[in-house]
Amino acid sequence: MVHFDFSKLAGLTSVIFSTAASAQNLGKPTLWGNSMSPLIEPSLWNNLAPVPSQIIPWAAGTIPQCCADAANGETPKLSLTDFEVFYVKYEDCFNGWAFCRHRNSPVSQATMVDVFGRIPVRERQWIQHVVAIPGPNSAYMSSAIVVFRGTATGSLGVFQHEIGHAVDFYKNGFQTSARTEWLDAIRQNTCVTDNYANTNAIEDFAQIGVVSLFANVNPGGLDPAFGWTWHCFLNQFNTYNAFQSESMSPGGVCTRRWADSAIISTRTAKTVSTAELLPKPENVLGMPNVFAIPFEART
């Protein structure tokens, strides 16, 4: 189990397709100070069961374009030939996900697969690919891929936070954290969850998502764990759930997927044809319930 300090995510916020209001520091008192992770993480591990899965390694020499973009965005750039690429087929979804793991990531393939598979599938279905790379513990979401540095991949709270960004930007057809209802809920409350939630309305939305997942799986919800103290962010909690609650419950099956990123060769950086690859892409435009990512967003 990893207890992750969400304050270490700070500095990564670089959002495309957001409003000025949602990007402003909130300046609110916090209920849980520097990090809510030690209070939230144990129950997530105890109450979110892993979904059975099958790992299918890719042939060497190919990688999804978005994984290559993440590697090239690091300083210094990461070599594409140092990545392990593999599909993971979970039994609760009709198609698998392509994962990219740098060989120097401290998190194993098995841990990546286990943690992602514990997140409710109706949230997972908004993620295109999962990437793990070495570096200081941090994470970001970029156009429906989630990228984790260091041991961040091993934290259920961090996984939920980053997946929550994708749900925020894509699930409802608009950026939910920029809606008047969300900004009003923040103004009406006397606190936010922790210091990282204070960064802006976007990060606050993702942090409330972690709390909402906790409330869904922790026996009795929030009150047995925190009494009435959490009611200082009650409006945020209720508003979040009005938009997202149906995605937060474990069980069920996926109903939609993003088309996989283009596949390139790690040797030539040339796009390669589907026929050259083993296995073939799992999610392709034209398949039922497979969609193109409509716009870019990073946070």
**pLDDT for 202-221, tens place per residue?**
999 999 999 999 999 999 99
As a whole number of angstroms, the distance between CA 68 and CA 104 comes to 16
pLDDT value at 9 more than 80: no
Average pLDDT for the chain: 90
User: What pLDDT is attached to residue 281?
Assistant: 85
**Is residue 268 very low, low, confident or very high in pLDDT (cuts 50, 70, 90)?**
low
Return the H-helix or E-strand segment holding 87. strand 83-90
DSSP 159-216: HHHHHHHHHHHHTTSS-GGGSHHHHHHHHHSS-BSSTGGGG-HHHHHHHHHHHHHHHH
pTM: 0.89
pLDDT value at 12 more than 90: no
**pLDDT for 176-190, tens place per residue?**
999 999 999 999 999
pLDDT value at 274 more than 70: no
**Is residue 267 very low, low, confident or very high in pLDDT (cuts 50, 70, 90)?**
confident
pLDDT value at 7 more than 80: no
pLDDT value at 105 more than 90: yes
pLDDT value at 4 more than 50: no
User: What pLDDT is attached to residue 152?
Assistant: 83
298 or 270, greater pLDDT:
298
User: What pLDDT is attached to residue 15?
Assistant: 39
**pLDDT for 224-255, tens place per residue?**
999 999 999 999 999 999 999 889 999 999 99
Q: Which is it for strands 145-149 and 83-90: parallel, antiparallel or unpaired?
A: unpaired
Other CB atoms within a 10 A radius of the CB of residue 33 amount to 11
Dihedral sign of CA atoms 184, 189, 190, 192 in order: negative
User: What pLDDT is attached to residue 20?
Assistant: 52
Contact by Cβ (8 Å): 273, 280:
no
Task: Domain ranges for the chain, please list them.
Answer: 6-291
As a whole number of angstroms, the distance between CA 141 and CA 82 comes to 22
Return the H-helix or E-strand segment holding 97. strand 97-102
Looking at residue 157, the DSSP 8-state letter turns out to be H
Tokens of 287: 């398949």
User: What pLDDT is attached to residue 17?
Assistant: 40
278 or 40, greater pLDDT:
40
Contact by Cβ (8 Å): 261, 129:
yes
pLDDT value at 21 more than 90: no
pLDDT value at 280 more than 90: no
Mean pLDDT of 161-165: 97
User: What pLDDT is attached to residue 279?
Assistant: 55
User: What pLDDT is attached to residue 153?
Assistant: 78
Contact by Cβ (8 Å): 153, 111:
yes
